[in-house]
C-alpha cells in the first residue's frame, strides 16, 4: 500500500481507502468489493450509505455500490442479487499517480459458491478515482470447461438532497419493465424522469450517458457494455418496511444502476466479459 491507498476500518470491517492529491476519496469494503463512499475533489460524498446499514460481515450492506452477480434481483434460483455482495473479496492490485488511485478486488468460485451456482469463474471489481470522477468496472471470466450465463448490475445508490426535486435525463422513448406495476412493459414519454412515487424500472437498450439534475448540481452517469439501466426508489411504504433504512431514507437516495438483466450474458469456456459505470460530479 501507499500513502494514497491504505487499509482502514469502517464499523469494524476492513476497507481500502483511496485518496488522491487533489482531495478525492473513496472507501471500498472487502466484503462484497462494495464502494461505500466517494467524495470527489473539493466536493461532498455523492453515494448514499444508510445510517442503519448492517456491518456484520454476513449481511448485505445497504448503500454504496453493491455488486449484483451472478443474478440480478430474484430473476433466478439464487439469493436475491446473487452471492458476490456477501462474499469476502481479496485485493489483487493497487496503483496510484498524481491524479488517480485504483484498487482491484478479486473473487473466485469455491465450494460454497459452487453449491449455489455450479460454475467456475473469476471476477474482478476495479475502482478508480480522480478529480470529479469515479470509474467502476466489473469483469467476469469463465474459468471452467462449459458455458454459463448470468445477470449482473452495479447497484449504485446516489446521495441526493431531495428525491422529489431531481430529474433524470436521457431515457425518453425507451421501453422499460415496470416492476412497481406488475412487470408491465411501458415506454418512457417524459423529457425527464421525476421521482414522486415508488419507482422500480428496468430501462432497455439504454443510451451510454444519462444526466441526473438537482437544483444546484448534477451528475453525469456513463455506462459501457451494460445494455440496461435500473432506476429505483422505494418511496414511503416500502422504505418504512426496510429494516436497514430510516423511514425517510427514500428522500435522500436514488439508485441508478448499470445492468445486464433482460438478456443474460452468455460466456463460453475461457471467455471474459466486462461492464463499466462512470460517475462525474458536476
| 25 and 131 Cβ atoms separated by less than 8 Å | no
Is the pTM here over 0.95, yes or no?
Answer: yes
pLDDT at 210: 98
Instruction: Tell me whether residue 257 is one of the annotated catalytic residues.
Output: yes
Give me the number of domains the chain comprises. Answer: 1
CATH of the domain at 184: 2.70.98.10
3-state class of 252 per DSSP?
A: helix
Local confidence band at 3 (pLDDT 50, 70, 90 cut-offs)? confident
| 84 and 119 Cβ atoms separated by less than 8 Å | no
Local confidence band at 59 (pLDDT 50, 70, 90 cut-offs)? very high
Instruction: Tell me whether residue 139 is one of the annotated catalytic residues.
Output: no
Residue-wise pLDDT tens digits, 224-244 = 999 999 999 999 999 999 999
Rounded Cα gap, residues 41 and 23, in angstroms: 5
Residue-wise pLDDT tens digits, 112-123 = 999 999 999 999
User: Cβ-count burial of 182 within 10 angstroms (0-12 exposed, 13-18 middle, 19+ buried)?
Assistant: exposed
Angle at 238 between CA 236 and CA 242, to 5 degrees: 115
Local confidence band at 1 (pLDDT 50, 70, 90 cut-offs)? low
State yes or no: pLDDT of 6 exceeds 70. Answer: yes
Q: Which of 119, 137, 155, 188 is catalytic?
A: 155
Q: How many CB atoms lie within 10 A of CB 274?
A: 14
Residue-wise pLDDT tens digits, 184-228 = 999 999 999 999 999 999 999 999 999 999 999 999 999 999 999
pLDDT at 32: 98
Quote the domain boundaries for residue 14: 5-281
Query: Of 223, 209, 172, which is closest to residue 193 (Cα–Cα)?
Result: 172
Amino acid at each position: 500500500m501507499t500513502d494514497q491507498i491504505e487499509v482502514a476500518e469502517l464499523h469494524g470491517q476492513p476497507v481500502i481507502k483511496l485518496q488522491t492529491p487533489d482531495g478525492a476519496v473513496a472507501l471500498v469494503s472487502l466484503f462484497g468489493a462494495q464502494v461505500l463512499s466517494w467524495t470527489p475533489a473539493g466536493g461532498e460524498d455523492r453515494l448514499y450509505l444508510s445510517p442503519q446499514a448492517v456491518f456484520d460481515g454476513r449481511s448485505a450492506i445497504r448503500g454504496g455500490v453493491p455488486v449484483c452477480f451472478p443474478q440480478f434481483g430474484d430473476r433466478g434460483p439464487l439469493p436475491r442479487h446473487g452471492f458476490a455482495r456477501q462474499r469476502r473479496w481479496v485485493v489483487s492490485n493497487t496503483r496510484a499517480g498524481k491524479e488517480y488511485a485504483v484498487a482491484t478486488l478479486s473473487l473466485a468460485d469455491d465450494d460454497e459458491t459452487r453449491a449455489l451456482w455450479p460454475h467456475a469463474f473469476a471476477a474482478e471489481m476495479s475502482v478508480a478515482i480522480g478529480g470529479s470522477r469515479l470509474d467502476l468496472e466489473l469483469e467476469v471470466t469463465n474459468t471452467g470447461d462449459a458455458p454459463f450465463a448470468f445477470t449482473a448490475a452495479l447497484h449504485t445508490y446516489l446521495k441526493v438532497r431531495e428525491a422529489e426535486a431531481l430529474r433524470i435525463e436521457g431515457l425518453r422513448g425507451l421501453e422499460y419493465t415496470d416492476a412497481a406495476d406488475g412487470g408491465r412493459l411501458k415506454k418512457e414519454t417524459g423529457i425527464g424522469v421525476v421521482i414522486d412515487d415508488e419507482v422500480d424500472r428496468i430501462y432497455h437498450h439504454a443510451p451510454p450517458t444519462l444526466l441526473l439534475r438537482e437544483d444546484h448540481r448534477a451528475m453525469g452517469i456513463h455506462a459501457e457494455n451494460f445494455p440496461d439501466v435500473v432506476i429505483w426508489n422505494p418511496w414511503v411504504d416500502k422504505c418504512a418496511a426496510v429494516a436497514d433504512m430510516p423511514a425517510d431514507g427514500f428522500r435522500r437516495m436514488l439508485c441508478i444502476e448499470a445492468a445486464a438483466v433482460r438478456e443474460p450474458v452468455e460466456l463460453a469456456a475461457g471467455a471474459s466479459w466486462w461492464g463499466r459505470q462512470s460517475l462525474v460530479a458536476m
